[in-house]
Structures are given as C-alpha cells and as structure tokens.
Structure 1
Amino acid sequence: MAFSRFLPFRNSILAGAANVKASFWSNTGHGISTFGPDLAIDAGSSSVRSYANYTVFKGKAALSMTPVLPTIRKVDISKVYKNGCVMVTFWPAIGQRKYDWQKKQAFALSPTEVGSLIALGPAESCEFFHDPSMKSSLEGQVKKTLSVSPLGNDNGYFLNLSVVNHVQKTNERFSVPVTKAEFTVIRTVLSYVLPHIMGWPQALRSEVPSKATNLQKHQYVGEEVLRDPALEWER
C-alpha cells in the first residue's frame, strides 16, 4: 500500500520532467548546446576510451570542437613529432533542428590559434587562414578562413568559416553565433586542452612504457594519436 501511494507521486514527477524538457526545446529554438562524451573501443584493445567534444546547434549551422592529441615518435628520446590541434567542425542546417552530417567542413586550430581564442577580449576579433598548398605551385586552390567577431554588447561571438575551392568551383560559408556562456565553456576547455595538444603532459611523465625501447623510429610512442589534423582537408 505504501508503494502504491508512491507511484502517483513518482508519475507526476516524470510527467513534470517531460513538460520541462518540451518547454526547453520550444522556448530555446535553435539555441541549444550539448556537451558529452562518446565512448568507443580501440581496435585490438579491450579498453574503452572516451572521446569528448563540445557541440553548439544553431539555426543555420552547428559546430563541434574536439581535441586531437599530438604525434609522438621515438627518436633517441621520446619527442613530439607533430603538435596536436583542436578540430572545429561545421555542419549546415537543412531544417529545424536538422543538419547535413555529410557536408561537413573542418578547421584545425594550432596551439597558437587556440591561444588567440583564449585571449580574445569582449570587443576583439581574430581571423585564421589555412592553405594546404601554401608556398607551392598549387597555392590558393583551396583556402579556409575562420573568423571570430563579437556579437556586440558583450553578448558573445560569431564563428564564421569560409571554404573556397577553386578546383571544384565551390564556395561554402558557415556562421554560428555563440552566446557569452557558450564561449565561456569554449574558452575554459581550450585552456585545459592546450598543454595536452602540445604534448607537455606526456613529456613530464616520469616513466616511459618499457616496450617503447623496441619500437622503430617510424612507430609512435606515448599517447596514441586519436586523429590526424590532415583530416581538416577531407570531407
């Protein structure tokens, strides 16, 4: 009898929670941001690793930020072969709360570019330019420009990505406004991951795995590479 008296109270709580969730979606529209890890199992390993990102969904596009660890090689001593990055991925909207996950464009933020975002003031803006063929005969064929500009009145920032491909004759543009609170989250996570994408925590470790001494120079040691920053130029 005591349990049966509890059930109506429990059901009313669940119904209230559902109403709050429905109200949240209807009132906020496209200004939704989510933050949560995706779990995946490494090939050939029974261990489970957590791949976390921070995603912001808005009316015209969505963006996600994901840390990419550096590549570490064995050359005399363990050393960073290639710095990591923070991969910023954009997707275009194709409807209300619907996005085309196939038509993505990525921009790999270097440690210095991450520092620029961390230091960005309320009324300041910055712009980053990437060209995979810079200083070669193919320079200018594909260009990516990421700009960050204030919304005004200290309300947040616009993150704009422009991708010009003269080979395919395409010009893609993405624009995502982020609120002050959302940019605070971005600034905080960037501050945390900055030393990791530079390989500093790995360098400060007192012990190196014993099997590392048997690796050839072309093999990686230390932290496993999660994703190659070259993916910025793949679809």
Structure 2
Amino acid sequence: MSVARTVFRESRRAFSKACYAGYTIYKDEGALTISVAPPSIRDNGRYKSVVRKGVLQLDLAKRIEEPGDNRRFDFKNKVTMNLSVGQCGELISPFTLPLEFNTNRLDKGKAIFKNYSMILDRKDETQDVYVTLHERDLGPENQSEEPTNTKSDQRSSQSEEPTNTNSAQKSREVVSVPLTLAELAILRSLVSYSIPHLVGFDKVLQSERIEVDNQYRNDQSVAKPSFQSRSSGSLPDASLWGSHE
C-alpha cells in the first residue's frame, strides 16, 4: 500500500515539469508579473548538479492608452528584471525604502544598451508601495552588458567613476505599478517560497525520494511491507490479550 502511494507521488511530480505559473497584479497604471526561471540541471549519469542557478523574473508592462473602460497592457514590450537569490533576500528581509535594482539590457531594435532601474518607494501619503521602472540610454563608454546590481553595488561603482550627466538627462519613467500592503506581502511570500527552487534544493530532495522508490521496485531482495487482515466476523480471543487465571 505504501509502495503504490510512493509510485503515485513520483508520477505526479513528472507531470509538474510541464506546469508554468505566474502571479500578475493589474492596476490602472500598469501590470506586474512575478515568475520563476528554474535552474539548469546537468545529469552525468551518476548524479545531477546545478550548473546555473535560477532567477526570479519580474515583468513590468504599461497600460495601453485607449478610450473606454477596458484595460489592456503592452506585454509585447514588457521589461523583465531578473533577480538573483541574493537580491531575493533583499526583498524578503526588513528593508528601508527606497529599494533599487539595476540592470543593463541590449535594445536589439536600436543596437544600444539601456539601463533599467526598478525602484520600490512610496510616492504619496498612502501606504502603497510603487514599483517604478526607469530607463536611460547608456553612452558609448558604457556599452557593456552587466548583471543586475543592487543599490549598494551602485554606490560603490559611482564612487569609482564620475557621473555622466548627459546620460542621466535621458532617463525616463517607463511604468509605475502601485502595490497595497497585502499585495506586497503576497509578493514577498512568493519570493521566499521560490528561493529553494532557484538553488535546486527541491531537485535534491526529489532525487533522494526517487532513488528510494526505485530500490523497492527493482531490488527483489528488499522485503516489501505486507499486511494481513482479519475477517470481519471474527473477534479477538484470549490468545490476543493473554490468559488471566
């Protein structure tokens, strides 16, 4: 009975490989989607290893301006911010606003690099936290693709290099999505849950369970659990409890 239940769990995990999930927050200003890009796993026959950790993807898309009450969003031109495991820790740990993340992306249409800054901050007297995306073109001297940096990393780079005022003037706000305290709590909960998947810990536990399951099915010398049932009409006799004289 326990063996059959284990086999069912393994087959159910096999179906989960084709499952894609994302959480989207729609607002009048724009939309924010959170999803996970799983790590890359290498299987050499004897064991599996994580060759590249996963990232948390935050997609921001602005609302399409059109008459009427219908809300449509420009997901075709969305901007994706990839957050590493360490940056996910900044989102779930107690932080002070503003919180900023930066990344450089290649604009294939214009063949230039653009810097995107995602800033979490409050804009008004409400408790809403705005996720604002800024964009600016990089000059020829900064045409290099870099990984996503946090605000602390940006301070260290600014102390070493002078600020380019011409590039700063080209900065513009792409989209700003307000989050309520409840939506921010959901976002942080999803980030916290995704961290073990980003580093491949769930794959390790899954491999150990499958290895034990295969041992029961393939090794005939392993004693499988057996169960004996008593007929419904019989009652416990004296031999069950022992004699009392």
Name the TM-score class by shorter chain.
0.5 to 0.7
- CA drift of 1:49 comes to 3.0
- CA drift of 1:132 comes to 5.3
1:125 to 98, 115, 121: 98
- Alpha carbons 2:118, 2:132 under 8 Å: kept: yes
| AA in 2 matched with 1:124 | L
Provide the residue aligned with 1:110 in structure 2. 84
Equivalents in 2 of 1:151, 1:186: separation in Å?
Answer: 19
- Alpha carbons 1:154, 1:180 under 8 Å: kept: no
Please give the secondary structure, in 2, of the residue aligned with 1:52. Answer: coil
Provide the residue aligned with 1:146 in structure 2. 118
Provide the residue aligned with 1:188 in structure 2. 189
Unpaired runs of at least 5, structure 2: 1-13, 107-111, 140-169, 212-245
Larger Rg: 1 or 2?
2
Greater helix fraction, Structure 1 or Structure 2: 2
- CA drift of 1:170 comes to 9.0
**Change in CA separation of 1:132 and 1:183 when aligned onto 2, cut-off 3 Å:** same
Provide the residue aligned with 2:127 in structure 1. 155
Equivalents in 2 of 1:141, 1:48: separation in Å?
Answer: 34
Provide the residue aligned with 1:201 in structure 2. 202
- CA drift of 1:191 comes to 0.9
- Alpha carbons 2:134, 2:171 under 8 Å: kept: no
Provide the residue aligned with 1:40 in structure 2. none
- CA drift of 1:156 comes to 3.3
**Change in CA separation of 1:152 and 1:66 when aligned onto 2, cut-off 3 Å:** same
Unpaired runs of at least 5, structure 1: 1-44, 134-139, 210-235
Q: TM-score, normalised by structure 2?
A: 0.55
The question of 1:55 aligning with 2:18 is answered no
Alignment of 1:1-235 (within 5 A): 49-74=18-43, 77-95=47-65, 96=69, 97-121=71-95, 123-131=96-104, 141-150=113-122, 155-166=127-138, 173-204=174-205, 205-206=207-208
Equivalents in 1 of 2:94, 2:122: separation in Å?
Answer: 10
Provide the residue aligned with 2:225 in structure 1. none
Identity of aligned residues (%): 25
Provide the residue aligned with 1:37 in structure 2. none
Please give the secondary structure, in 2, of the residue aligned with 1:51. Answer: coil
Equivalent residues, number: 157
Equivalents in 1 of 2:16, 2:82: separation in Å?
Answer: 27
Equivalents in 1 of 2:113, 2:36: separation in Å?
Answer: 27
